Chain A
């Protein structure tokens, strides 16, 4: 029927790979004998040992800790920024609204890899006008790629890319609010600030939840930006984020079984966090 073509492809390219990754993650490649010759490796059933290895792997947890720290700081900053921009765009006071909206949304039209390449030039000493300008302004030579700064340089790329997109989601929610509600508020003598915080924000709460969930998923899956910046920043290790670690395990260390286990843990973790967040806010609403 109409569902069949999608259903078949969904099963083949969505469910099957997940199932196959789970299957692969239960095996291990062992070197037998001297490790020479074509038949020197054997694949054996390993049970959950890949998983126990993931959960005791400090490289994995280093990456998890890093993306969590990243998310705890970057997601609120970006969403507050996006909300403020959306509220300002929606208020009567600001001019050139259409122009601003286009400007804020523009970075979203640039794919993540290209945005990362672009910013990597702006971080690169010798090429970057930003580094030069900061030097000229008396800040000394700012190193955007140092051990302590590079994570926030990545955060800046992500914020630059997705603030406009999130702003648009919130703005769409604001535009759906009937104007009468504001007029009622104004007649009651509410200030613009009160209207924004008491009327507008609660009514776009579902949009905010949506942006938060998309952001949580994106942060846990962080890959392209650090992978691109690795070309110029030695401070980004091969296990900088969980996805980078999985990639390294699969293609550099040549241990696809272990990479499969990491991918499964990461997918489940992402699902639990985003789903858990959704449940949490839904309960909050139901209770209110």
Chain B
């Protein structure tokens, strides 16, 4: 990963390089401030009490009320914030896991089996990549209300396990990384197709699986439109929708401002850490995604 060792600086004009390098570094620093400052404000504000939130300097600490904000957040409305966290884990975590498994099987089949209509199926799925989740939310709502599934876990969970982009990534990866000989060898050894997929293909595809999981996780977690139209029972909300509903209510309950702030912080901390530490999987997936375009 170390690009520093990847290439040498040009031997000529090193003074020039260092001066422009300094300028470039300064520019990057200003950009980093832009990207980090809102997050910093969130951290600072979540430690403030309701009075100092408005009166003190926004980008610096004032009276420390982190503990009372936390207890307030987790006890408000019967501790519903806990429920939202668990729901989010179910929708996005379990949803992305199922989506990854389904998509990897489909991508593997499209890459390694020859059957009639294969190209057509793949084209339709590829078209699905260009149809974003928000465009589907309303049609899904109409359909779900027809069969009486709105306002249930399933109404958000089931559409989330379908990931056309995952199939696309899986197909690209499986076609390039799994040798046909290996599948042949498995067959000669008498292994069933299911076993070959589970013990050979999935193992080889594991880096791609992480990428697919990440993409789908973000897609579910970012799809705000779907739970917004489907769910009316607050106990089924994911944390994004819950915080949104609080954000619309703080006219009636001013303490909710503090809870929205600290609730946002708590909900993004695990994600941001996971994201940043798994960055290389994003890069590999994104590179694969743009190669075949």
A residues at B contact (CB < 8 Å): 1-3, 5-7, 9-10, 12-18, 20-21, 24, 85, 88-97, 99-115, 117-122, 126-130, 132, 160, 163-164, 168-169, 171-173, 175-176, 179, 182-183, 186, 192, 206-207, 209-210, 213, 217-218, 221, 223-224, 227-228, 231, 243, 246-247, 250-251, 256, 259-260, 263-264, 266-267, 270-271, 274-275, 278
**B116 interface contact, C-beta 8 A:** no
The answer to whether A110 and B224 have CB atoms under 8 Å apart is: no
Q: Is the CB of A105 within 8 A of B276?
A: yes
Minimum distance in angstroms from A225 CB to a CB of chain B: 10
Q: Which of B35, B125, B143 contacts A104 (CB 8 A)?
A: B35
Q: Are B293 and A209 in contact (CB under 8 A)?
A: yes
Contact B58 A132 (CB under 8 A): yes
Cβ contact within 8 Å between B267 and A114: yes
With an 8 Å Cβ cutoff, the count of chain B residues facing the other chain is: 98
Contact A6 B167, beta carbon cutoff 8 Å: yes
Q: Which residues of A contact B224 (CB under 8 A)?
A: 111-113, 223-224, 227
What CA separation (Å) do A175 and B1 show in the bound complex?
Answer: 10
Shortest Cβ gap from B246 to chain A (Å): 9
Given A13-B159, A106-B36, A117-B243: A206 and B290 interface contact (C-beta under 8 Å):
yes
A122 to B34, CA, bound (A): 13
Contact call B247/A117, Cβ cutoff below 8 A: yes
Determine the chain B residues whose CB is within 8 A of the CB of A218 once the complex forms.
Answer: 132
Q: How close is A247's CB to chain B, nearest CB, in angstroms?
A: 7
- B3-18 CB mask vs A (1 if < 8 Å, else 0) is 1101111100000011
Residues of B within 8 A of A (CB): 3-4, 6-10, 17-18, 20-21, 24-25, 27-28, 31-32, 34-36, 38-39, 41-42, 45, 53-54, 57-59, 102-103, 105-106, 108-110, 113, 121, 124-125, 127-128, 130-132, 134-136, 138-143, 146, 158-159, 161-162, 164, 167, 193, 197, 218, 221-222, 224-225, 228-229, 240-241, 243-244, 247-248, 257, 260-261, 264, 267-268, 271-272, 274-276, 279, 282-284, 286-287, 289-291, 293
Residues on the B chain within 8 Å of A21, using CB: 138-139, 142-143
Beyond A89-B28, A103-B31, A217-B132, 15 additional contacts (C-beta under 8 Å) are: A1-B109, A6-B167, A13-B136, A88-B28, A91-B24, A92-B9, A104-B32, A106-B272, A109-B268, A210-B293, A221-B135, A228-B244, A246-B138, A271-B127, A278-B293
